[in-house]
Each structure stands twice: as C-alpha cells, then as structure tokens.
Amino acid sequence: MEHLVDLDALAALLAAPVESWRLRATVGPLRWRDERAPWPPPIGTDRAGVVMPESLSIRVSREPDGELEIVVWTGGWADVDLLIGDDVVSRCPRFTDVDGARTAVVRTVERFLAARRVDRTPAEDGSVSRDR
C-alpha cells in the first residue's frame, strides 16, 4: 500500500479535537493496526507495539442511539460506519495527505455529534451526515 498519510502525525493532530469530543460523547482510544504483523493483524491501543502503522481508528458513541467508527488508512482513505437509531450508513472519504485526513475525521465526527438523523444524500467530500 502506498503511504500517503502519516498516521502518527494524524494522531497528534487529533489530540485536541478528541478531548473536546469527550465533553459531548463517549470516545474510545485510538487503535492501531500494524502493516507488518502476521495475518490477521491485531488491532490495539499500544502504538509502541506497532512497527508500521497501516490504519488508525476511533469510535465515538452518542447516547442514546448513535455510534460512529472511522478507520483511516495510510493509503489515503477512511472507512466510515455510522449508526443513528435504525439507520446505518457507510462512507469512504479519500484524501492525499495528513491534513486532508484530519479534515475528513474532524468534519465527520462533528457532523455525527450534531446530527439528529442520518442524511443519505452523498456529500461532495464523502463524509457522513449533514445536520438535520
């Protein structure tokens, strides 16, 4: 996989937003997947145990009925899965660098925290729901 996004730099850029999200929701720890680990590669919270980060993920839960998981891949995309009530949406925003990845993650989480329901209209940037 081509490495477009420095996941360590992304983790550092997300530190402040993650703390602000924790004031409004339950936010899990950052989780890492090692590109060099044997199959199936474990996913864990200990960055020190990862030789070459392949993905960085975060889970955000909003009471009573919302959950979001974002997995950012070093290759320049994210797998976004969102549950609000009975609505499930998956999206795949793409980016070419760490700043684009940060923007996609922050925008997606902020929209999730503000949304009352899922808007299934595709966004131009591939991010999750719009506030409705």
10-residue stretch averages of pLDDT, the chain, 132 residues long: 96 98 97 96 96 98 91 98 90 98 98 73 52 37
Q: Supply the pLDDT for residue 131.
A: 38
119 falls within a domain:
no
Residue 29 has a pLDDT of 98
> What's the rounded Cα separation, in Å, for the pair 132 and 71?
25
Domain that holds residue 73: 7-114
pTM for the predicted model, two decimal places = 0.86
Asked whether residue 26 is assigned to any structural domain, the reply reads yes
Q: Is residue 2 part of a domain?
A: no
Helix H or strand E segment including 31: strand 31-34
Does the residue 12 lie in any domain? Answer: yes
Q: Which of 32, 81, 79 is nearest to 55 (CA)?
A: 32
- What's the residue count for the chain? 132
Is residue 90 one of the residues assigned to a domain?
yes
Domains identified in the chain, total number: 1
pLDDT at 78: 98
Domain for residue 107, yes or no?
Answer: yes
Nearest one of 41, 112, 125, 123 to 70, comparing CA atoms: 112
- The answer to the question of residue 21 being in a domain is yes
- What are the DSSP E strand ranges found in 35-123? 43-44, 53-62, 66-73, 77-84, 87-91
Residue 132 lies in a domain: no
Both tokens assigned to 40: 């199936």
